[in-house]
Chain A
Amino acid sequence: MSIFRRCRELLQKVLALPLGVSLLFAFPASTNFQLKDFGYGGGGVANGTSSNYAIEGIAGEQNATELGGTTHDLGPGLQFTNQANVPPAPTFTNPANYYNKLQLTLATGGNPSDTLFAIAISTDNFTTTSYVQSDNTVGATLGLEDYQTYSAWGGGSGFLIIGLTASTTYKVKVKAWQGKFTETGYGPEASAATVGARLTFDIDVSASDTDTGPPYTTDIGSLIAGTVTDSPEKIWVDFDTNGESGGRVYVVASNAGLQSSRAGYTISSVTGNLTSLSEGFGAQGSSATQSAGGPFAVATAYNLASNNVAVTDTTIREIFTSSAPVTSARGSFLLKAKSSAVTPAASDYTETLTVLASASF
């Protein structure tokens, strides 16, 4: 038998009900009060279950007409009475300029600790609705596993809803369930917004921690044979990102060393200790700080001391790294050079360093 034929038969049976049923929809009232809804006469409760479903049927009382206001709902009958408390609006925030996650803390609404909560989430005022999954991502369907206790949802600390879209306002609402036939409707909404993906980067060249503008130059000066000479200025970088996996600052060189076209010779960039090497040029990390997040750090290869340097050549190499979002990071590195007695004399030794940045979102 098709479902449509069955519907038609059921409808016919409804229409065949005694006319007296209609009398149930008249409302007694006084000057100050009105009994909005009531039932009388016979009634009963029946439960049906299968392996996957359960249904509670209640006969003999109204199951329509719900009283409600802007801040409350009052439903009729036994089923409404059995329902869990509708959860209040949760606390929904973006505490750290996240672009892909938001912090959510549920409110229990006085429900017991074994109450399960489900969370709906939307970007369009619930024209379309998604659900926070048990793994804190957002999914299209609400499964039983996505009903979790307050504790499982992070308790008073809450949790992060992840996998969100940048520059988007989200709304959430919560419903509760404590056993069969007790699921509430959704409570009030809360909203929060992700920010856009962000990367800020700048370079300075200065002896001290000072902002400078281009052109960026540093003159190491005359190299005395056998002596390690530092660049008088350091190269500073500003780096700021909310990239989930942080980011990197890179250095790449044009000549792989100090090159003289006049002498036709390059003081090669090297990795090693210039104290013991006869000749060479390289970089050494000097400082790395941040105001929050990170940490922003000198990459291992350049995290050196004394006269140890690392190569700067035509390969783009990481010189600073952060594995997490970082705010107001500031780093510096300096250059060291050494000539030998047989380094060809010339006044035009030059290298051009390019400093880059990228962030991982």
Chain B
Amino acid sequence: MVRFSAVQKTSILEIFSLLLVVALPLLLANRAEAAGFTQAYIRFDRLKSNTATTGMICAKPSSTLTTYRKLEVTFPDENSATDFVVNTTAANWQTSNISTSNIDGNTAWPDITNATATISGNIVTWTHTADQTLNSANIYCFRWTNTAAITTPTTAGTTDLVGTVRALTSADSELMNSKYATAIIANDQIVVTATVPPTFSFSLSGNTDSLGTLSSSSISSSATPRTVTISTNAAAGWVAWVKSANAALSSVSTGASIPTAGSINDTPEDLDSVTGYILDVDITTDSGTGTGTVQQNPGYGDEYAGADATQGGSLSTTFQPIAEATGTTGGDILTLHERAKISAVQAAATDYTDTLTVVAAGRF
């Protein structure tokens, strides 16, 4: 029987122990693997094929990063038909073409608007001048805002186009990485159309108006002035016109007439200084509903814009504009005041009369 001395036993034990101690680090030492983001996504603002687009990049680290210096994004580039075309002009990917607004309420990517972009193939890398912290509690986002930066692949109907988002240190050590996928379709837009049909309404409050007994020393006005009400959805509003049958108050029994005062010259006449027969048109209601404003302008009613109860415009046997509106209205109202003053030698009669025809039209 072989016996080992105590020294030999100790030697064997020590050799075994030494080998084990030496071997253990070799057995257990292995390459570290970078973790993935908790979330990473890229939202392209257009998914139509062969379309220049802006977009948004978002990521949420799975653990807080304090040595993050570079963000590297690889856009899908599996083959020419499904490659995104990345513009190599750095300016399109940095500073004024980067924004942290409108990022769906997420946290602005720190310092990204100051980062310098470099492009290599389909890889865009944003490099900060100093390490940034990405907190694991936040989803960080930013947008590239220049459509010149990237164009979607030429082939539509493609799915599972995969890219990568990586966070790196200043020495290009990978801190975190995740894949993402997107899809490209033939058309991502829907055209919606509709029609609003034209509408127009017009009404006159009455068809008679009496001036009563005329005087040479005072001005007689309509006792019951009639109103015109107009509603329309004509985008350019409406115009109203008046035409007089006689351009005067005429008496059939005597053959006499009280002619209209003055002439059509966009200036109302004043019966304080002249005699005659005139029409004053007041803008009683400019409807607050709609886009239009009722006006009396040169050629469109200034003639009949009497400033007071003695003024009015000359009547004509042809249609003359009395007012206009500039847009749609839910109900504009005009009031028509006929006025007259006679001379001392006006022939007496009880049948002085005139017929005014009032019309309007929407300007569609």
A350 touches B30 (CB 8 A): no
Query: For the complex, is A130 an interface residue (Cβ under 8 Å from B)?
Result: yes
B18 touches A361 (CB 8 A): no
Which residues does chain A contribute within 8 Å of B196, judged by CB atoms? Answer: 222-223, 260, 263, 267, 339, 343-347, 349
A341 touches B330 (CB 8 A): yes
Chain A 193-227: CB-based contact to B (< 8 A → 1; otherwise 0): 00011111111010000000111111111111100
Q: When A141-B30, A345-B197 are in contact, do A57 and B188 touch as well, CB less than 8 Å? A: no
Which residues does chain A contribute within 8 Å of B30, judged by CB atoms? Answer: 128-131, 140-141
Which A residues lie at the B interface, using CB under 8 A?
3, 6-7, 10-11, 13-14, 16-18, 20-21, 23-24, 40-42, 46, 55, 57, 59, 99-100, 128-131, 137-142, 163, 165-167, 196-203, 205, 213-225, 229, 231, 235, 241, 243-245, 247-248, 250, 252, 258, 260, 262-265, 267, 315-316, 318, 335, 337, 339-361
Q: What is the size, in residues, of chain B's interface with A at 8 Å between Cβ atoms?
A: 75
Given the complex of chains A and B, what is the CA–CA distance between A245 and B7 in angstroms?
Answer: 65
Which chain A residue has the least Cβ–Cβ distance from B184?
A: A201
A59-B9, A347-B195 given; name 4 further pairs at CB < 8 Å: A248-B43, A318-B104, A352-B190, A360-B40
Chain B 1-33: CB-based contact to A (< 8 A → 1; otherwise 0): 111100111011111111010000000101111
Per CB-CB distance, the 4 closest pairs between chain A and chain B, nearest first, are A41-B1, A214-B187, A342-B290, A344-B235
Least CB distance, A245 to chain B, in whole angstroms: 5
Which residues does chain B contribute within 8 Å of A130, judged by CB atoms? Answer: 30-31, 33
Q: When A344-B196, A352-B189 are in contact, do A166 and B179 touch as well, CB less than 8 Å? A: yes
Least CB distance, B188 to chain A, in whole angstroms: 5
Contact for A24 among B2, B102, B190, CB less than 8 A: B2
Chain B 33-46: CB-based contact to A (< 8 A → 1; otherwise 0): 10111111111111
Which residues does chain B contribute within 8 Å of A350, judged by CB atoms? Answer: 191-194
Q: When A41-B3, A130-B33, A220-B194 are in contact, do A198 and B160 touch as well, CB less than 8 Å? A: yes
A341 touches B199 (CB 8 A): yes
21 contacts between A and B (CB under 8 A): A7-B18, A40-B1, A41-B2, A41-B3, A42-B2, A57-B12, A163-B62, A165-B179, A198-B181, A199-B161, A216-B191, A229-B194, A263-B196, A315-B102, A316-B43, A342-B330, A344-B233, A345-B199, A350-B193, A354-B188, A360-B39
A341 touches B43 (CB 8 A): no
Least CB distance, A348 to chain B, in whole angstroms: 8
Given the complex of chains A and B, what is the CA–CA distance between A13 and B44 in angstroms?
Answer: 73
Given the complex of chains A and B, what is the CA–CA distance between A260 and B192 in angstroms?
Answer: 12
- Cβ < 8 Å to A, chain B residues 261-288: none
Which residues does chain A contribute within 8 Å of B4, judged by CB atoms? Answer: 17, 42, 59
Contact for A358 among B3, B14, B42, B159, CB less than 8 A: B42
Query: For the complex, is B214 an interface residue (Cβ under 8 Å from A)?
Result: no
Which residues does chain B contribute within 8 Å of A55, judged by CB atoms? Answer: 17, 20
A219 touches B15 (CB 8 A): no
Given the complex of chains A and B, what is the CA–CA distance between A258 and B356 in angstroms?
Answer: 42
B189 touches A99 (CB 8 A): no
Given the complex of chains A and B, what is the CA–CA distance between A131 and B8 in angstroms?
Answer: 38
Which chain A residue has the least Cβ–Cβ distance from B3?
A: A42
- Cβ < 8 Å to A, chain B residues 284-336: 289-291, 327-330
Q: When A42-B3, A342-B291 are in contact, do A258 and B194 touch as well, CB less than 8 Å? A: yes
Which residues does chain B contribute within 8 Å of A339, judged by CB atoms? Answer: 196
Which residues does chain A contribute within 8 Å of B222, judged by CB atoms? Answer: none
Query: For the complex, is B183 an interface residue (Cβ under 8 Å from A)?
Result: yes
Q: When A140-B31, A141-B30, A198-B181 are in contact, do A215 and B187 touch as well, CB less than 8 Å? A: yes
Query: For the complex, is B231 an interface residue (Cβ under 8 Å from A)?
Result: yes
Which residues does chain B contribute within 8 Å of A20, judged by CB atoms? Answer: 2
B197 touches A222 (CB 8 A): yes
Least CB distance, B74 to chain A, in whole angstroms: 12
Which residues does chain A contribute within 8 Å of B187, judged by CB atoms? Answer: 203, 214-216
Least CB distance, A237 to chain B, in whole angstroms: 10
Given the complex of chains A and B, what is the CA–CA distance between A344 and B291 in angstroms?
Answer: 8
Given the complex of chains A and B, what is the CA–CA distance between A216 and B47 in angstroms?
Answer: 14
Given the complex of chains A and B, what is the CA–CA distance between A99 and B17 in angstroms?
Answer: 44
A358 touches B178 (CB 8 A): no
Which residues does chain A contribute within 8 Å of B291, judged by CB atoms? Answer: 265, 342, 344
Chain B 70-114: CB-based contact to A (< 8 A → 1; otherwise 0): 000000000000000000000000000000001010000000000
A361 touches B181 (CB 8 A): yes
A358 touches B192 (CB 8 A): no
B188 touches A355 (CB 8 A): yes
Given the complex of chains A and B, what is the CA–CA distance between A128 and B8 in angstroms?
Answer: 38
Given the complex of chains A and B, what is the CA–CA distance between A227 and B44 in angstroms?
Answer: 37
Contact for B183 among A140, A199, A353, CB less than 8 A: A199
A199 touches B159 (CB 8 A): yes
Which residues does chain B contribute within 8 Å of A361, judged by CB atoms? Answer: 37, 39-41, 178-181
Least CB distance, A186 to chain B, in whole angstroms: 12
Query: For the complex, is B255 an interface residue (Cβ under 8 Å from A)?
Result: no
Q: When A223-B194, A361-B181 are in contact, do A216 and B189 touch as well, CB less than 8 Å? A: yes
Which residues does chain B contribute within 8 Å of A348, judged by CB atoms? Answer: 193
Given the complex of chains A and B, what is the CA–CA distance between A77 and B74 in angstroms?
Answer: 56
A264 touches B47 (CB 8 A): no
Which residues does chain A contribute within 8 Å of B38, judged by CB atoms? Answer: 244-245
Which residues does chain A contribute within 8 Å of B328, judged by CB atoms? Answer: 342-344
B233 touches A342 (CB 8 A): yes
Which residues does chain B contribute within 8 Å of A42, judged by CB atoms? Answer: 1-4
Given the complex of chains A and B, what is the CA–CA distance between A217 and B182 in angstroms?
Answer: 24
Which chain A residue has the least Cβ–Cβ distance from B156?
A: A214
Which chain B residue has the least Cβ–Cβ distance from A356?
A: B47
Which residues does chain A contribute within 8 Å of B40, judged by CB atoms? Answer: 360-361
Q: When A20-B2, A140-B30, A316-B102 are in contact, do A219 and B183 touch as well, CB less than 8 Å? A: no
Query: For the complex, is B117 an interface residue (Cβ under 8 Å from A)?
Result: no
Given the complex of chains A and B, what is the CA–CA distance between A213 and B62 in angstroms?
Answer: 40
B7 touches A13 (CB 8 A): yes
- Cβ < 8 Å to A, chain B residues 131-158: none
